Homo-oligomer: A and B are copies of this chain.
Amino acid sequence: MVDHAVAVIGLGSMGMGAARSCIRAGLETYGVDINRDALGVLKDAGAAGVSENCGDFAERLDSVVLLVINAHQCRTILFDMGLADRLRPGTAVMVSATMAADDISDIGARLGNRRLIVLDAPVSGGAAKADAGDMTVMAAGSDDAFSSLAPVLEAVAGKVYRVGSRLGMGAMVKIIHQLLAGVHIAVGAEAMAMAARAGIPLEVMYEVVTNAAGNSWMFENRMKHVVDGDYAPKSMVDIFVKDLGLVTDAAQSLKFPLYLGSTAYQMFTAASNSGHGQEDDSAVIKIFDGIDLPGNR
């Protein structure tokens, strides 16, 4: 047992993986979610405690990892539900939701006022990597924040990139990463839809691309769902509507021209608007008409 108590807040695909990785690394691990099934799963996996709210074990904690969806959920948990007031001074808060740089700066300032330590620490890698304790973390914060959270980072991350010390730099790196991820999914869909239109068998197109210079991590992972006709959500269309919205906001505040990112944003928004928001993000291909896709008859 490592002498470090951590609570993972948000037990979705990434949070559950991170929490299991903490348990496996011997940390005293707590889990928080409003989904009781997720709490049961984590309890069975060896959590020291699980709860629907955060008050039950707040005072024991050395650190908190926030793996919720966005800045709004982080603020609700920390400030409206009162977690920030119950944590001991010096507790480290790792904020891993994808959010605007201004949001993490603001949250960081409010936590700093309560003498809490903050790490701006978005993550990437998907559910499988989270489960293996092999997430990629792109983090910004003080030396203190990195050293306080070292046992947790050790447990959950394969790679930790220290992108700077100013809060917001981690968020910005994640946002730019999501620009790439979102465009790669959208252009994968555009290419597969064009292949379908041209009468190229999709499994042939997939096989060629994944063995050639046109490949991307997202093409290989997500276009498999299109080949299989399986749109059960691993990560949803609406997540990219949110993330490419953040990319658009960031570009706007930088006065930066976002040629491809803005186009991909419209594509995901069109897919959501057509009723596919809760499907797998590869369902962005459904904005293309006049083609016959596997499983879509």
Which residues of A does B touch, CB under 8 Å?
101, 124-126, 136, 138, 159, 161, 163-164, 169, 172-173, 176-181, 183-184, 186-188, 190-191, 193-195, 197-201, 204-205, 207-209, 211-219, 221, 250-251, 254-261, 263-264, 266-267, 288, 290
Contact = CB atoms under 8 A, between A and B. Distances in A.
Given A191-B176, A260-B263, A161 B207 contact: yes
8 contacts: A136-B211, A169-B200, A177-B191, A184-B216, A186-B259, A216-B219, A259-B267, A260-B263
A194 B176 contact: yes
The secondary-structure label for the interface of chain A is helix
Q: For the complex formed by this chain, how many copies does it contain in all?
A: 2
Given A163-B200, A191-B176, A181 B260 contact: no
B212 A136 contact: yes
B217 A213 contact: yes
B214 A195 contact: no
Contact of A258 (B194, B251, B256): B194
